[in-house]
Amino acid sequence: MSADAGPGTGADAGTQRTGRQDARALARARRRTALRRAVRDLLRKPGGVAGLVILGFFVVLALLAPLLFPAETLEVTRTTQPKLASPYAGYPFGTDRYGISVLALVAWGARISLLVGISATVISMVLGTLVGIASGHFRNLLGAVLERLTDWFLVIPFLPLVIVLATVLGSSILNVVVVIGITSWPATARLVRAQTLSIEARPYVERSRALGAGEWHLMTRHVLPNVMPLVLANTTLTVAVAIASETTLSFLGLGDPFAVSWGKILDDAFGAGAITAGAWWYLVPPGVCVVLVVLAFTLLGRALEEVLDPRRRSA
Amino acid sequence: MGRYALRRAGTAAGTAVFVLVVNFFLFRLLPGDPIGLITRGRNMDADQIRALRAQLNKPIWQQFLDYASNPFSTGVDSVKYSRPVWGLIGERVGPTLLLVGTATVIATAVGLWIGIRAGWRPGQGFDRGSTAVTLLLYAMPEFWLGMLLLIAFGTGIGPLPALFPIGGISTPGVDTSTPAGWLDVGRHLVLPATTIVLGYVAEYSLIMRASLVDEVHADYVTTARAKGLKDAEVRRRHALRNAMLPTSSLVLLNIGFVVSGAITVETVFSWPGLGLLTYDALRGPDIPLLQALFLLFSLSVIAVNLVADLLYGVIDPRVRT
């Protein structure tokens, strides 16, 4: 606010500034303590810790995949191993339809699955938060239109919409990310909208408005910090959904045909007749990875929800 | 109730229009010659192609109005089957309803039972065990679970013989109108239905548990206990009545989604329903068929939602305001 340079002596303005700096420092310190307490509370929850440990494992696996299994081990033309072979020395998960180690495929799959899941969630969160805050804040035509749009998107069945979008856009990693991102935001938007409404009804927002705060200031300085914890908890839950969606899309053959994701491995296994061949080693590892990662994000999300939601935080 | 019903119907109609708009314009975004896309690889005489081109050369808003005035018209045949799409879809509705209906009934019964037992004594043995199992099931991709069941019970593993058929709805050659035929269909139904049931049991029991936990410590429950009512009576006649509201709404709302959710499961088990048809359509892609299926799935969800909303208005008068 430019009222700083208004009437008043230099000394006055000085004390005002230090006063505001104090307030900033105070707010920062308070945020730090809150963060520290949230982390401490989270580490006390067995579900949260289990989620973090599992995720840590898969992140390390994804990062180390190129070192553990050089890219050429995935090349169909370079392999000398038998096809669809059950586990043996050096190939603890056996080989796939081309004679490539399933273990190497699963390790590389972690990269694509995590990458797609997290990037799609970023899109979904940004969209959901923007639409949610805007539709809760603006009580005019814009707000009403955004609210309707959210409701409509919530009603359209998820899988058919994703299938249609993926068919129309074509298959590449970026398109899969976009498709999952733009279909999974409405739930977040609705949550954020409800929270926005409840925050804007509080007296301090009214006070701020009375002091002349603009729409932008209200939304970014008062509403956004208050919805962030909710968004954060929701983010981890959305990553779980996004990874599951990626797996389903790839299984249906709508993923990037050149990117090895867990869903793609399952699609290949299904297509190669792994079921009738009884090749359980081809099906079980990628599925177990999906289950573990989805479970980890779900556990972490539930723990975060309890830690960050003041109503559910036990004294 | 009248005004509430009217408002709900209005919302449903608005959503239906939105779906029509999406369904019309989304497929117009496809790159390439639209006639090539919808007639791919099929012989059509020049007159038909000319008529199609004349239709596509109209202004886009006029095309939309034509489409919206009768979205169910069988304008273009399915690419893959060379037959009118709605006839094709009609044949597939029965198997899907059979599969989804059976699965929903069982999933609801089992899910509620587990949720009630777990939620009534939160934190105790049964609750911990069932929550762990349901969270695990919830994290599983349905089609993967289906493939595991197939490999274990369909092809047999080790000493285990193949207990159930590997796919399809009946053994070829068996007349499904006789009692022996029904039994055959039932045997084919076991694995796909179990797959869907396991997925939804997880969801339903988690919701039922959560809503019952909210009620366990409510004042009116304490009052009921103080009156000296038996534990089972407090649960059944007091707590459950309130806890059932969110759960029943979820179960109703879910029915619409279960149909489209069966896409992957039907694919894995070659169950000849709408899901498998969708899979066939997107592998092509068979655009006319896909467009019709998307419309059907969306409209059925909207219709089920409307029914659920109206029923909910009857059960819980508070939402009618």
C-alpha to C-alpha distance for B45 and B86, rounded to whole angstroms = 22
- A254/B301 Cβ within 8 A: no
| A&B contacts, CB < 8 Å | 128
Residues of A in contact with B14 (CB under 8 A): 148, 152
Q: What is the pLDDT of residue A54?
A: 93
Q: Three-state DSSP class for A97?
A: coil
Residue A5 scores a pLDDT above 50: no
Per the structure block, which two tokens stand in for A46?
């067995």
C-alpha to C-alpha distance for A76 and A98, rounded to whole angstroms = 6
B256 or A2, which is more confident? B256
Stated pTM of the model: 0.84
Residue A11 scores a pLDDT above 70: no
Place of tokens 């274990």: B152
Q: What is the pLDDT of residue B43?
A: 67
**To the nearest whole angstrom, how far is the Cα of A10 from the nearest Cα of chain B?**
58
What ipTM was reported for this prediction? Answer: 0.83
Average confidence (pLDDT) per 10 residues, chain B, 321 residues: 84 86 80 69 72 77 76 69 81 89 91 90 86 88 89 74 74 75 84 91 88 85 88 86 80 76 88 89 82 87 86 77 62
CA dist B305 to A274, B3, B213, B290, Å? 39, 17, 26, 22
Which residues sit opposite A101 in a β-bridge? A95
Which residues sit opposite A91 in a β-bridge? A88
Print burial letters for B49-82: b (CB count within 10 Å at least 16), e (below 16).
eeebeeeeeeeeeeebeebeeebeeebbbbbbee
User: What 3 state SS string does A162-204 have?
Assistant: HHHHHHHHCCCHHHHHHHHHHHCCHHHHHHHHHHHHHHHCCHH
Per-residue model confidence as pLDDT tens digits over A97-137: 777 888 888 888 899 999 999 999 999 999 999 999 999 88
Q: What is the pLDDT of residue A2?
A: 41
Asked whether A96 and A102 are in contact (CB, 8 A), the reply is: yes
Residue of A nearest to B257 (CA): A157
Q: What is the pLDDT of residue A312?
A: 56
- A276/B144 Cβ within 8 A: no
The reply to whether B11 touches chain A by the CB within 8 Å rule is yes
Q: What is the pLDDT of residue A315?
A: 38
Centroid of chain to Cα A229? 14
Centroid of chain to Cα A4? 41
Q: Taking residues A203-225, report their average pLDDT.
A: 87
Q: Taking residues A259-264, report their average pLDDT.
A: 89
Residue A8 scores a pLDDT above 80: no
- A155/B302 Cβ within 8 A: yes
C-alpha to C-alpha distance for A235 and A42, rounded to whole angstroms = 16
Residue A258 scores a pLDDT above 90: no
Q: Three-state DSSP class for A92?
A: coil
Task: Provide the mean pLDDT of chain A.
Answer: 83
Residue of A nearest to B157 (CA): A278
Which residues sit opposite A88 in a β-bridge? A91
- B157/A294 Cβ within 8 A: no
Cβ contacts of residue A81 below 8 Å, gap of 6+?
A91, A95, A99, A100, A101
Q: What is the pLDDT of residue A310?
A: 61
